[in-house]
Amino acid sequence: MQKIGVFVCWCGSNIAATVDVKAVANAMRSEPGVVFSTDYQYMCSENGQNLIKDAIRDYKLDGIVVCSCSPRMHEATFRKTAMAAGLNPYMVEIANIREQCSWIHKDMPEGTEKAMVLARAAIAKVKKNAPLTAGTSPVTKRALVIGGGIAGIQTALDVADAGYEVDIVEKSPTIGGRMAQLDKTFPTLDCAACILTPKMVEANQHEKINLITYSELENVSGFVGNFTARIRKKARHVDEKKCTGCGVCTEKCPSRKGLNEFNMGLNTRGAIYIPFAQAIPNLAVIDTSNCIHFKTGKCGICEKNCSAGAIKFDQEDEIIERKYGAIVVATGFKPIDASYFDEYAYTQSKDVVTSLEFERLMNAAGPSKGVLVRPSDGEHPHDITFIQCVGSRCSHDATKGKEYCSKICCMYTAKHAMLVREKYPDVNVHVFYIDVRTPGKNFDEFYRRAVEQYDVDYIKGMVGKVTVEGKKLHVQGSSLLSNDQLHIYSDMVVLATAIEPDPTARSIGTMLTASMDTNDFFTEAHPKLRPVESPTAGIFLSGVCQGPKDIPETVAQAGAAASKVIGLLSKNELVGNPCVAHANELLCNGCSQCERVCPYGAITYVEKEVRGPEFRGVKRVAQVNEAVCQGCGACTVTCPSTAMDLKGFSNNQIIAEVDAICR
Amino acid sequence: MQRELIERLNALIGEGVGKRVLGWKRGEFFYDTEPAILAADQLDELVYDSFCGPNLSKYLIQEMPKLGEGEKIIALIKPCDSYSFNQLCTEHRINKDKVYVIGVGCKGKIDVDKIRARGITGITGIDVDGDALTVHTLYGDEQVNRKEVLLNKCLSCKGKEHRVFDEQIGESEETSTGDDRFDMVKKLEAMSAEERFAFWRGELSKCIRCNACRNVCPACSCVKCVFDNPNTGVQNKAAADDFEENLFHIIRAFHVAGRCTDCGECSRVCPQGIPLHLLNRKFISDIDELYGEYQAGEEVGQRHPVINYTQGDCEPSIVHERGSNA
Amino acid sequence: MPVNTEWKPKIVAFCCNWCSYAGADLAGSSRLAYPADVKIIRIPCSCRLNPLFILRAFQRGADGVILCGCHPGDCHYSTGNYYARRRMTLLFSMLNYLGIDSRRTRVEWVSAAEGAKFAATMNDFAKTITELGENVKLGDLRCKEN
């Protein structure tokens, strides 16, 4: 028989005024299993706690019930008290007779009666409690950042500055990401490269940062503090230690078929190339699909011209396997495919471009060296039409576009319009918009400037169709304000295409068991209070992978994610919550239903040798990773055989409470 | 067809496809069949006729651990059973790689009780010739139309397509009457709460807790049932409290909700004739109505609606809002 | 049926730890009264509520069972209440189908800030159950025709 002690708190008059605490303590004395029951003015005071400790020792109590305020208030206090007296802290239950009894019931007999029921329920529960011990796991003091754009770079710099090792894995040959492709940035119009490249250099030179470029994540296992990542470092066919980045090979390469990714395919590059002048690391890479040597076995001009002897045609992919304590997702975005919106003639005319393509056309390092020309014939345009919300806010047709607002398009379109007018005052600029959304510091001022100082023709309305008519683009739209049908003959049309998560995000999310929304943006652990954490412990979110945002927001979130990573890596070990799910292997059917509802990916299945009175042999069973499980209990209800149960809130504990209340 | 089947099975065993066959054999009476695992030398016991109602999929679970590396068992699966087969594959209870599935054709199975219900007694044998049944009795022969005495589950057949098979043998014939399988559920929903209560009290109080429904159910395949496990708090061998039967049937239906293929075995085997499938069909009809049409076992790997959600799901208050008559 | 003045309903309220249990605490600290017939059982998340517990409560004589959890979208564990919502919808529908009044089962989403909503919900639910009277239905279910 268990020995249970009951401690009824007066909480001064807070409880004692409407609950006859002595009557409760007396009544509990006659409950089966209760060997000690008393009341005291302030159970949470030092004297009160000593009373509990003495009783635990004197009566050799196996469990205690404290009838007091809410467990949200003092459960932790009384658990410590129990522990100090040598009782397992999880052998404590609280009957909430203040918030849920004395404070809401005016009538003493009524309050007293309810307090007794609540006490009995807590006694019934504590009898079914089992001692629990929180597990600990060590923390590997190294972080992995997936994605080397501004989000990943900033997170890595902040974590590294705190003294922790950081690896950045980037799938393209250089870090820098989308921001490196931008010309100017809103609302200050400072040049993107001028503010980004120093950060790229800093990341490269930081002694704690290790760049793993031209590499892809292949697999991630483990859990918070103890992840193991397998990274495939693709062969550059260039010896990283020897290549000086002089660029001779890129000039001599006779193949000119590869589309220049950095310039959004607006021009071509050699089969051996350096993505752009400030690429980090500044190393050449061979695009084997266009390389004459790889196709015919001949050529080898780069090899002949490389004075450093860095060309290595026989280089092979390398697999890096490393342990990490924390993983930051910074996979970023890409513009959606504009060919879905062919009413704007994107595939029919080279002069219809996306905003990111336009960004390259305006950039001094771009294909036209920063001189704005029509891509079709290289002539100077005299009239440009911008169309906003192409693929954003597309709730009427979610198969084509995105339901969400891409957030950055209003501002970059204002920027483009302003830059064009600034550089080429002779060019007429029209902008078709649904709404102009400018919440942000100095954002609306910026947009007003475009309208008022730069005389950009903002038209509230939609464009129905763009057709190619000779050298002109016939833009047919409507103005909602003047209620006119408009026919504008432009030389160029710029589509403010929606942004979407990078296509690699989904597979990375699956590897990390990090949840995503229907748009493939990563889900945060709490939309308001934990915006930079994934619900999966140890996974953090930085930048647009979580949702559309501009550069300052990305940098702010990157820093926030870094501070969470630092908080995690600063611990030597993680103490788990012992109230976690547990699978009884003998009862487990192996059906995987629990695995599917677990929001944390804490459940895995293994083939295991199981021995029991009714079964002996190998079977498929669920295993809960206690370091990952957060104890919600979703799995327990999906389990038809009750093999899956939750410690601290077990089926038997809750049924005991139900029975006591309905007695 | 039975002879053709046995010949093919002998050939398959000869080719080394598998050593044993899961099929049916004759039970105590000529109209009884029971699941059987037969080795090559027992194949003459195999039966495939108009009385092979039992759903065999579940019996593969216990065979899985007995199969060695690369070894297969040959299983005879009717079209309706193939849904249960897939559902069990989804739940990793059956490994398709270890089963050679022969999709056997089905023209509907006969319910001998329906023949008896026509006042025909002392039945000693039945000859089947197309739709013409000649029932031999102690008192002479009777003619019965086969279509009129099919099992209830055949009347709401999901179709004669095998959702899984390695090869198919024998012809099938549509048996569904085309009536809405939810007719009776709707009828009950249209009753007043008191009438519904009376209906179920009448039905469920017949329950003798023989567990036949549970034992036959392909979805009820827990390694240990909660109702047999003394640690779950709900175990009870006998009905200590008369709510037990109701608790048992509600929990049973809830445990299989989303996984039940509507194979109808529970009602077929109930010795008390309780229409247990009406509990499962209520869940199916609610799922179809509230979360979109769903058929368990249609494909392997489906995520069933009870372990899924959408952010825009209806609130539980819909039960009340639909009215007490819904 | 005539209301028995002696009879008091037995109401079991399952509250998730993060939102609704905290909401109940707030109702208490705001001194917002609701009937003492309501007894709260704390569970970590609404998704922890096994239909078994509800049936057990009815079996043991409860007259009404209510589940309170975080609002959809605000679950501490992201998705728990979405699963709870489906399970409870289906379970309540089944109980209704068996002739158990759908007003005896309820789900309400109560946040930690909604002390007033918690008290109002419990007052309303207790009133509904009191008006419905003793859960004769289940009493009858428990009483077989012999």
Cβ contacts (< 8 Å) between A96 and chain C: which residues? 25, 40
Question: Is C118 part of the contact surface with chain A (CB cutoff 8 Å)?
Answer: no
Question: Is B254 part of the contact surface with chain C (CB cutoff 8 Å)?
Answer: yes
Give the C-alpha separation, A456 to A431, whole Å. Answer: 7
* Domains of chain C, first to last: 11-135 (3.40.50.960)
Please tell me the predicted confidence (pLDDT) of residue C139: 42
C135-144: average pLDDT: 47
Q: Give yes or no for residue A233 having a pLDDT over 50.
A: yes
Q: Could you tell me which chain A residue has the CA closest to the CA of C29? A: A99
A506-524: average pLDDT: 87
The percentage of chain C sitting over the pLDDT mark of 90, rounded to a whole number, equals 65
The alpha carbon of A360 is separated from its chain's Cα centroid by a whole number of angstroms, namely 29
Banded model confidence at residue B205, pLDDT cuts 50, 70, 90: confident
Please tell me the predicted confidence (pLDDT) of residue A554: 97
Please tell me the predicted confidence (pLDDT) of residue B229: 84
Please tell me the predicted confidence (pLDDT) of residue C145: 37
**Which residue bears the tokens 């209620």?**
A483
Q: Could you tell me which chain B residue has the CA closest to the CA of C60? A: B243
B223–A587 CB contact, under 8 Å: yes
Please tell me the predicted confidence (pLDDT) of residue B54: 93
Q: Could you tell me which chain B residue has the CA closest to the CA of A656? A: B233
Question: Is B260 part of the contact surface with chain C (CB cutoff 8 Å)?
Answer: no
Give the C-alpha separation, B262 to B277, whole Å. Answer: 7
Cβ contacts (< 8 Å) between B244 and chain C: which residues? 59
Q: How does pLDDT run across B269-305, given as a tens digit for each residue?
A: 999 999 999 999 999 999 999 999 999 999 999 999 9
Give the C-alpha separation, A621 to A585, whole Å. Answer: 6
Q: Chain-wide mean pLDDT for chain A?
A: 94
B248-264: average pLDDT: 93
Please tell me the predicted confidence (pLDDT) of residue C135: 74
Name B287's Cβ contacts closer than 8 Å, sequence gap at least 6: B257, B258, B294, B305, B306, C90
Name A356's Cβ contacts closer than 8 Å, sequence gap at least 6: A178, A181, A264, A335, A497
C48–A646 CB contact, under 8 Å: yes
Dig out the tokens for C139 from the structure. 């009493």
Chains A & B: contacts with CB separation below 8 Å: 56
Under a CB-based contact definition with an 8 Å cutoff, are residues A352 and A473 in contact? yes
Please tell me the predicted confidence (pLDDT) of residue A398: 67
Banded model confidence at residue A515, pLDDT cuts 50, 70, 90: confident
Give the C-alpha separation, C72 to C16, whole Å. Answer: 13
A464-479: average pLDDT: 95
C93-121: average pLDDT: 92
* Domains of chain A, first to last: 4-128 (3.40.50), 142-229+319-332+503-569 (3.50.50.60), 248-305 (no CATH), 335-500 (3.50.50.60), 581-647 (3.30.70.20)
Banded model confidence at residue A514, pLDDT cuts 50, 70, 90: confident
Cβ contacts (< 8 Å) between A605 and chain B: which residues? 92
The ranges assigned to domains in chain B are 1-109+156-178, 112-149, 180-326
Give the C-alpha separation, A428 to A455, whole Å. Answer: 9
Give the C-alpha separation, A559 to A542, whole Å. Answer: 8
Please tell me the predicted confidence (pLDDT) of residue B242: 56
Q: Could you tell me which chain A residue has the CA closest to the CA of C24? A: A100
Question: Is A646 part of the contact surface with chain C (CB cutoff 8 Å)?
Answer: yes
Please tell me the predicted confidence (pLDDT) of residue B239: 47
Q: Give yes or no for residue C2 having a pLDDT over 60.
A: no
Q: Give yes or no for residue A438 having a pLDDT over 50.
A: yes
C83–A523 CB contact, under 8 Å: no
Q: How does pLDDT run across B91-138, given as a tens digit for each residue?
A: 999 999 999 999 999 999 999 999 999 999 889 989 988 889 999 999
Please tell me the predicted confidence (pLDDT) of residue C1: 43
Decide the pairing of beta strands B20-26 and B33-39: antiparallel
The alpha carbon of B145 is separated from its chain's Cα centroid by a whole number of angstroms, namely 24
Give the C-alpha separation, B186 to A662, whole Å. Answer: 34
The percentage of chain A sitting over the pLDDT mark of 90, rounded to a whole number, equals 88
Decide the pairing of beta strands A4-9 and A63-68: parallel
* B235 Cα to chain C: minimum distance (Å): 12
Please tell me the predicted confidence (pLDDT) of residue B243: 63
A589–B93 CB contact, under 8 Å: yes
Banded model confidence at residue C142, pLDDT cuts 50, 70, 90: very low
A634–C61 CB contact, under 8 Å: no
B223–A618 CB contact, under 8 Å: no
C59–B241 CB contact, under 8 Å: yes
Under a CB-based contact definition with an 8 Å cutoff, are residues A110 and A135 in contact? no
Q: Give yes or no for residue B38 having a pLDDT over 90.
A: yes
C61–A630 CB contact, under 8 Å: no
Q: How does pLDDT run across A80-102, given as a tens digit for each residue?
A: 999 999 999 999 999 999 999 99
Please tell me the predicted confidence (pLDDT) of residue B179: 86
Give the C-alpha separation, A189 to A445, whole Å. Answer: 13
Banded model confidence at residue A11, pLDDT cuts 50, 70, 90: very high
A522-535: average pLDDT: 86
Which chains contact A through at least 3 pairs of Cβ atoms less than 8 Å apart?
B, C
Please tell me the predicted confidence (pLDDT) of residue A528: 82
* B13 Cα to chain C: minimum distance (Å): 46
C12–A71 CB contact, under 8 Å: no
Q: How does pLDDT run across A115-162, given as a tens digit for each residue?
A: 999 999 999 999 999 999 988 889 999 999 999 999 999 999 999 999
Q: Chain-wide mean pLDDT for chain B?
A: 90
Decide the pairing of beta strands A165-169 and A142-146: parallel
Question: Chain C: which residues have CB within 8 Å of chain B?
Answer: 51-52, 55-56, 58-59, 72-73, 79, 82-83, 85-103, 105-107, 137-138, 140-145
Distances (CA, A) of C113 to A95, C4, C29, C33, C70: 22, 36, 12, 16, 11
Q: Report the residue of B64, B224, B283 to disrupt the A interface, i.e. the one with the largest count of A CBs within 10 Å.
A: B224
Cβ contacts (< 8 Å) between B307 and chain A: which residues? 593, 596-597, 638
Q: How does pLDDT run across A604-633, given as a tens digit for each residue?
A: 999 999 988 878 888 899 999 988 899 999
Q: How does pLDDT run across A168-223, given as a tens digit for each residue?
A: 999 999 999 999 999 999 999 999 999 999 999 999 999 999 999 999 999 998 88
Under a CB-based contact definition with an 8 Å cutoff, are residues A28 and A52 in contact? no
Q: Give yes or no for residue A313 having a pLDDT over 50.
A: yes
Give the C-alpha separation, A53 to A557, whole Å. Answer: 47
Q: Report the residue of C98, C109, C136, C142 to disrupt the B interface, i.e. the one with the largest count of B CBs within 10 Å.
A: C98
Please tell me the predicted confidence (pLDDT) of residue C5: 59
Please tell me the predicted confidence (pLDDT) of residue B322: 82
C40–A634 CB contact, under 8 Å: no
- ipTM of the assembly? 0.93
Strand ordering across the sheet containing B132-137: B123-129, B132-137, B140-145
Q: How does pLDDT run across A18-53, given as a tens digit for each residue?
A: 999 999 999 999 999 999 999 999 999 999 999 999
Q: Chain-wide mean pLDDT for chain C?
A: 87
Q: How does pLDDT run across A347-360, given as a tens digit for each residue?
A: 999 999 999 999 99
Q: Give yes or no for residue C65 having a pLDDT over 60.
A: yes
